[in-house]
Structure 1
Amino acid sequence: MAVHEIRAFNRFYTNLIGALDYSKHLYTPYTLTESRVLYELAHAPRTDAADLRMELSLDAGYLSRLLGKFERDGLVERAPSEADSRRQRITLTQRGREATTLLDERSREAVGKLLSAVPADDRPRLAEAMRTVRDILGEARPDQDRHHEGPVLREPAPGDLGWMVQRHGALYAAEYGWNTDFEGLVARIVADFAQDHDPYLERVWIAELDSRPVGSVMCVRDEAPATARLRLLLVEPDARGHGLGDRLVRTVVDFAREVGYRDLVLWTNDVLTAARRLYQRAGFTLVAEKPHRSYGVDLVGQDWRLPLQEGPAR
């Protein structure tokens, strides 16, 4: 019963937070993750990059790219830490402080608008319920960087395929500047799978952590005989750095080999360096690459291949 109620609350609260999405509804140029980093820089006493990464559970590479963007935009300054030259001290510039002030004001306005629909007599009860949730779960999880159960891989539930489309579109726009053409491509891939797939030879896996989806991957039949194709690998930024990407890739490799595929192939782009490292560790080799312009940017597409076994797929 408790698990069901927590999952139901998580879905409700995730939708509620979506209604307060910074980039869409607060009319700011910053994503929710970017806004969290700016908030921590403005309010937390620790400003080292390593502390930020631990506090927000962000992948080191992703945080470095985000801070580089902030630095180019004149929001932060980076310098060696006075206490330890191996660490990087991050400070907000005047422009950065102005941005966090604007974010804070608009966030307060959005929450105020949400609370305006709550009767005055119910607001103390709401606040007390929130404190109770924080107190109980805070005691149950003294170490915020440790996940008790760890990620689990499961079949997609209703709504998960739509989540894959939305998160691919949002993350690739935020991290690489790709336009909605990419989201359209992902939508077509997902729609084709949902409409017609062989459950014996084709699968989708959703990675779930703390009752929320944090990753995905797909294995489908390729046009070439006895060949499978790995598609739509994704790991949320706050779930990176824990081996989940390797696990998702390995799951596809094991599945493809088990059902009898002879080869496993994939197509990616050279800018996706972290994903390419995952493929190399799994044994894929680069077989072809070609420049192209897609999703509003210039890219170099790459074909990768992993031999699995001799013989046709069953």
Structure 2
Amino acid sequence: MAVQDIRSFNRFYTNVIGALDYGRRLYAPYTLTESRVLYELAHAPRTDAADLRAQLHLDAGYLTRILNKFEEDGLVERGPSETDPRRRSVTLTTPGREAAALLDERARQAVGEMLDTVRAEDRPRLAEAMRTVRTILGESRVPRPEDVVLREPAPGDLGWIVQRNAVLYAAEYGWNADYEGLVARIVADYAEDHDPRLERTWIAELDGRPVGCVMCVRDDASGAARLRLLLVEPDARGLGIGDRLVGTLVGFARDAGYREVVLWTNDVLAAARRIYRRHGFVLVAEKPHHSFGRDLVGQDWRLDLHATPGGRRGVAGGGAG
């Protein structure tokens, strides 16, 4: 490949990005760099200014001016770092989170409008080509925990949960299509009728692709929060994603007013069970059963939220839950 090929592609892609922000409607009233800072702060609820500068490759003085502006506008708060008194932490305020959410909504809408011009049958090929470019040009970069973003599901993500559960559990444990059917029913029930105040799904995203998930639903029998479908992709394990997903779910359940979180899993899922223990879950019952084409030992776990006021802070999947 010639240098000129890359430069030509760069000019083409720059025009595409410019078209997304035609008339500066996407980032207004912020610059592109200011919008990137807001995005990073929104997806890392508490971070040090030094870490932020390293993540975005920004000059220290430039970042300081941006944060000063944000602080004057009431978008951020700064204080001593919890880990190093020589550093300053940066946290979004409520107006800051609202501004970041508005920018994210605009970006999703702009990209959606661009994709509307692409034929449906060409979209998978486009996504794969983008992943190929990212992988080849970034293959020397080792993923870091801070590269992982937890977000709500986008269109297609619920289908991804079903597909990846079916594929991974078949490959790693030999489970048959009965498990895929169970996951499909869980996801369909959630998609058709869930209360966002009490039920939520999180997708872990790394380099623009989903690599993990967990679901919190209300248990009809007990009224407790039920953890379901914890999963982390094999190539993303070791980054603490499972811990973050469970910790986020526990925090949500506590804020939503639940008294306890319950889950059902199987004893073969050792990595997931270690995560549950770290977050204070206790094994309350287990029973042998034959499901998904295998002889298994099902386990019921429980977390008393009143007994663990603070909560605890990679990793395999957790079963249907």
Give TM-score, length-normalised by structure 1.
0.56
**Structure 1 SS opposite 2:238:** coil
Provide the residue aligned with 1:12 in structure 2. 124
The correspondence of residues 229-268 of structure 1 with structure 2, limited to 5 A, is 229-268=226-265
Give distance in 2, aligned partners of 1:301 and 1:217: 19
Aligned length: 194
Counterpart code for 2:124: F
SS in 1 for 2:235: helix
Paired with 2:262 and 2:228, the residues of 1 have a C-alpha distance of 9
Amino acid at match of 2:208: S
Amino acid at match of 1:12: P
How far apart, CA to CA, are the structure 2 residues paired with 1:280 and 1:187? 27
**Equivalent residue number for residue 183 of structure 1:** 180
1:205 maps to 2:202:
yes
Give the whole-Å Cα distance in 2 for the aligned partners of 1:272 and 1:302. 10
The TM-score, its normalising length taken from structure 2, stands at 0.55
Match of 1:280 in 2: 277
Distance (whole Å) between structure 1 residues aligned to residue 145 and residue 296 of structure 2: 40
Gaps of at least 5 residues in structure 1 are: 18-128
Match of 2:154 among 150, 154, 157: 157
| Contact 2:215-2:227 at 8 Å conserved across structures | yes
Aligned pairs (5 A) from 1:37-186 = 133=133, 138=137, 141=138, 143-147=140-144, 150-186=147-183
SS at match of 2:290: strand
- Structure 2 spans left out of the alignment, 5+ residues: 1-16, 19-106, 308-321
Amino acid at match of 1:187: A
Q: Is the 8 A contact 2:145 2:239 kept in 1?
A: no
Alpha-carbon deviation of 1:145?
1.5
Question: Which of 297, 300, 304 lines up with 1:303 in the alignment?
Answer: 300
Instruction: Give the direction of change, closer, same or farther, for the CA distance of 1:293–1:224 in structure 2 (3 Å limit).
Output: same
* Secondary structure of the corresponding residue to residue 197 of structure 1: coil
Among 224, 229, 248, the alignment partner of 1:227 is 224
Deviations 1:247-296 (A, max 9, x none): 00001100000110001000000000000001000100000000000000
Distance 1:221 1:242, change over 3 A: same
Q: Deviations over 1:2-32 (max 9, x none)?
A: 8959x97996348659xxxxxxxxxxxxxxx
Deviation at 1:218, TM superposition (A): 0.3
Whether the 8 Å CA contact 1:267–1:301 is kept in 2: the answer is yes
Q: Structure 1 residues 289, 212: closer, same or farther in 2, change over 3 A? A: same
1:84 corresponds to which residue? Answer: none
| Equivalent position SS for 2:227 | strand
Displaced runs of 4 or more, over 4 A: 2-5, 7-11, 13-17
Q: Which residue of 1 aligns with 2:286?
A: 289
Change (3 A) 1:194 1:289: same
Query: For residues 179 and 220 of structure 2, what CA distance do their matches in structure 1 show?
Result: 21
Measured after TM superposition, the shift of residue 144 of structure 1 is 2.5
Deviation string 1:148-179 (CA, Å, 9 cap, x unpaired) is: 96110111011000000000000000000000
CA distance in 1, matches of 2:147, 2:125: 21
Contact between 2:262 and 2:301, CA under 8 Å: does it hold in 1? yes
Matched-pair identity in %: 65
